[in-house]
Amino acid sequence: MAASSISSLLSTPNLKKNPSLSWKVSMPSAFTSFPQQTRKLEKMFVVMAMDAKPTVLVAEKLGAAGLDLLKEFANVDCSYNLTQEELCTKISLCDALIVRSGTKVSREVFESSGGRLKVVGRAGVGIDNVDLSAATEHGCLVVNAPTANTVAAAEHGIALLTSMARNVAQADASVKAGKWLRNKYVGVSLVGKTLAVMGFGKVGSEVARRAKGLGMHVIAHDPYAPADRARAVGVELVSFDEALATADFISLHMPLTPATSKVLNDETFAKMKKGVRIINVARGGVIDEEALVRALNAGIVAQAALDVFTVEPPSKDSPLIQHENVTATPHLGASTMEAQEGVAIEIAEAVVGALKGELAATAVNAPMVPAEVLSELAPYVVLAEKLGRLAVQLVAGGSGVKSVKVTYASARAPDDLDTRLLRAMIIKGVIEPISSVFVNLVNADFTAKQRGLRIAEERILLDGSPENPLEYIQVQIANVESKFASAMSDSGEIKVEGMVKDGIPHFTKVGSFEVDVSMEGSLILCRQVDQPGMIGTVGSILGDSNVNVSFMSVGRVAPRKHAVMAIGVDDQPSKETLKKIGDIPAIEEFVYLKL
């Protein structure tokens, strides 16, 4: 599993809210190539509890191999058939929740978690039972297991197709009822018939492959599938209407989304060939079930074989289930021994990875960033957050921060630089110091939007060799006053800039003053009249107060005019120490900032 680590981006509110737990520093593998960064990254990439194991609630049956993996890392609570109320009660004690299709992970569940829930693992493909918006708003990562049950679902689709065509289920029931109805259960042949696969993704393409082996003519409709993938399987991609008009069999394999909800309805059934047969192993909600009953009664649809239903389980006296031309199975698509073991391992690995702070390759509501990209971006991720923090601390109280402009200067082609992580970190840096809101990679964009914070991103393409992903990052905050007037650019924005030198983030510009300070600890910025002895004067005030200076840099516009001195300090100076600095006659303004 390709997974990368960037724990601070996935750490969740209870890290802050639950100080009683002691948190261990774990250096994610993606960062081990930056040994010089270790100390600073340790501060950022704080992950799971050392003495408090996380708790994973497994709310539906999961294969043993997956449970074993989970137990190596977490306390595992297997509680099946919980009511919504019980789930909401339990969830506040859980760091992760694993479900299949039978559990509704509603907004209420996220709200009830009190910020503790870090990850929801869907042990399967469809995530229509998880309220993704609520998950994102709560900064909770959702991961699924998208590959391990593909073949099982495709095989079940083929099982339904063949058994429907030969009335296997109905004939079996009649034999068991003591009947011998050889004339009633005459079936239809598959060879030479047209099968329309609706949704040519993982399952759809496996169904297509198998149906071709049965001698069927296979067409597919999928607005997003590449034509060459279809060609490779020997399948022609057609329009929705053409698929409906030409198919003898229609097999549904698209996800349930607002766009696919009730996509088979009275209107679309009317466009089908009379006597069409429908197979659904996708989701019940893609069919208007009442319209399907009407189409069955009218003979438009000769038969339907359904594994999934709008409401599961459907009511016993549902006219659809009871229809003699309907074959129904209880959502068995993924239920083979092999698929369930595979899914269990796939989801357990994803959930454990996410709890460790890794970015899962199967994240549904967060960007998936390959390990090698993450490793390269690591110091820039730190830089981005610190620039955000710096910029916002320069804003004078009372000015609302509404608009942040981020400029990425790079010699790399725009396609070569994924800025989503950097943007998330800048948002984190800007928002966290001025609010109680917790920001991570999952909820960064949402949180910015919700607070009315506009983030404009700009790329500057530099000449030269694109050895580093970025030359510098600049963060500007517009329409605000600054508590440090020298931080304002000529065009009236607070402006800070930084770059990575030898793997270490450096602060390199404030307003129009160039400085050069490694971004560690805290920072004192002073504007002074440029004159000899200033460094010594400030240095000895700090030294007398036992404040260790890590870096000092002076940026000036011209000799003996104004200069900005940036002083990196390891320890927080006391108010008295800061006052003494401010009292130096040549100091015109100063500000103390936490990095």
Ligand X SMILES: O=C(O)C(=O)COP(=O)(O)O
Residue ranges in contact with ligand X by CB under 6 A: 100-102, 123-126, 149, 331, 333-335
Which of ligand X, ligand NAI, none does residue 204 bind to, with CB < 5 to 8 Å depending on kind? ligand NAI
Shortest distance (Å) from residue 306 CB to ligand X: 13
Looking at beta carbons only, is 368 or 409 nearer to ligand NAI? 368
List, in order, residues 6 or more apart from 463 with CB less than 8 Å away.
411
Write the interaction track for ligand NAI spanning residues 213-232; mark x where CB under 6 A is met and - where it is not. Answer: --------xxxxx-------
Least Cβ distance, residue 169 to ligand X (angstroms): 20
Report in angstroms how near the CB of residue 149 gets to ligand X at its nearest. Answer: 5
E-assigned strands of 421-561?
A: 454-461, 472-477, 494-501, 504-510, 513-518, 522-529, 549-556
> Quick one: what does residue 223 bind among ligand NAI, ligand X, none, with the CB cut-off 5 to 8 Å set by partner type?
ligand NAI
By beta-carbon proximity to ligand NAI, the closer residue of 247 and 496 is: 247
* Active-site position among 116, 253, 277, 283: 283
For the CB of residue 303, give the shortest distance to ligand X in the complex, in Å: 22
| Integer Cα distance of 306 and 326 in angstroms | 7
Give strand pairing partners of 142: 120
Residue 123 contact among ligand NAI, ligand X, none, beta carbon within 5 to 8 Å by kind: ligand X
Q: Per-residue b/e over 478-514, b at no fewer than 16 CB within 10 Å?
A: bebebbbebbbbeeebbbbbbbbeeebbbbbbbbebb
Contact call for residue 125 and ligand NAI (CB under 6 A): yes
The distance of closest approach from Cβ of residue 353 to ligand X in the complex, given in angstroms and rounded to an integer, is 19
State the Cα–Cα distance between residues 519 and 380, nearest whole angstrom.
12
Distance CA 521, CA 572 (A): 8
Distances (CA, A) of 449 to 82, 87, 226, 233, 423: 35, 30, 33, 43, 13
Q: CA 260, 266, 267, 270 torsion: positive or negative? A: positive
| Closest-CA residue to 417 (of 461, 448, 476, 477) | 461
Partner whose binding site includes residue 201, from ligand NAI, ligand X, none (CB under 5 to 8 Å by kind): ligand NAI
Sheet-wide strand order for 301-306: 236-237, 217-221, 194-198, 249-252, 276-280, 301-306, 326-328
**Binding-site partner at residue 292 among ligand NAI, ligand X, none, CB < 5 to 8 Å by type:** none
Does 313 sit behind a cis peptide bond, omega within 30 degrees of 0 on the bond before it? yes
* Residue 260 touches which member of ligand NAI, ligand X, none, C-beta under 5-8 Å by kind: ligand NAI
- Cα 10 vs. chain centroid, distance in angstroms? 9
- The token duo for 1 is 């599993």
**C-alpha closest to that of 27 among 4, 56, 55, 2:** 4
153 or 439: CB nearest ligand NAI: 153
Query: Could you write out the DSSP letters of every residue in 287-337?
Result: B-HHHHHHHHHTTSEEEEEES--SSSSPPTT-HHHH-TTEEE-SS-TT-SH
The least CB distance from residue 333 to ligand X, in Å, is 6
Q: Which does 224 bind (CB under 5 to 8 A by kind): ligand X, ligand NAI, none?
A: ligand NAI
Is 283 tagged catalytic? yes
- Taking CB atoms, the residue at the shortest distance from ligand NAI is 201
Taking the least distance from each CB to ligand NAI, the nearer of 13 and 63 is 63
Segment holding 252, helix H or strand E:
strand 249-252
Of the candidates 100, 116, 331, 527, the residue annotated as catalytic is 331
Smaller CB separation from ligand NAI, 63 or 201: 201
What residues from 172 to 211 belong to the interface with ligand NAI (CB under 6 A)?
A: 198-204
Contacted entry of ligand NAI, ligand X, none for residue 102, CB cut-off 5 to 8 Å set by kind:
ligand X
If the CB atoms of residues 221 and 506 are measured against ligand NAI, the closer one turns out to be 221
- Residue of this chain nearest to ligand X (CB atom): 124
The Cα–Cα gap between 300 and 351 comes to 46
Smaller CB separation from ligand X, 339 or 383: 339
By CB under 6 A, the residues from 249 to 288 that bind ligand NAI are: 253-256, 259-260, 281-283
Q: Is residue 331 annotated as a catalytic residue, yes or no?
A: yes
- Kindly list the residues in this chain that would bind ligand NAI in the complex (CB under 6 A): 125-126, 146, 149-150, 153, 198-204, 221-225, 253-256, 259-260, 281-283, 307-308, 331, 333-334
Q: Which residues are catalytic?
A: 283, 312, 331
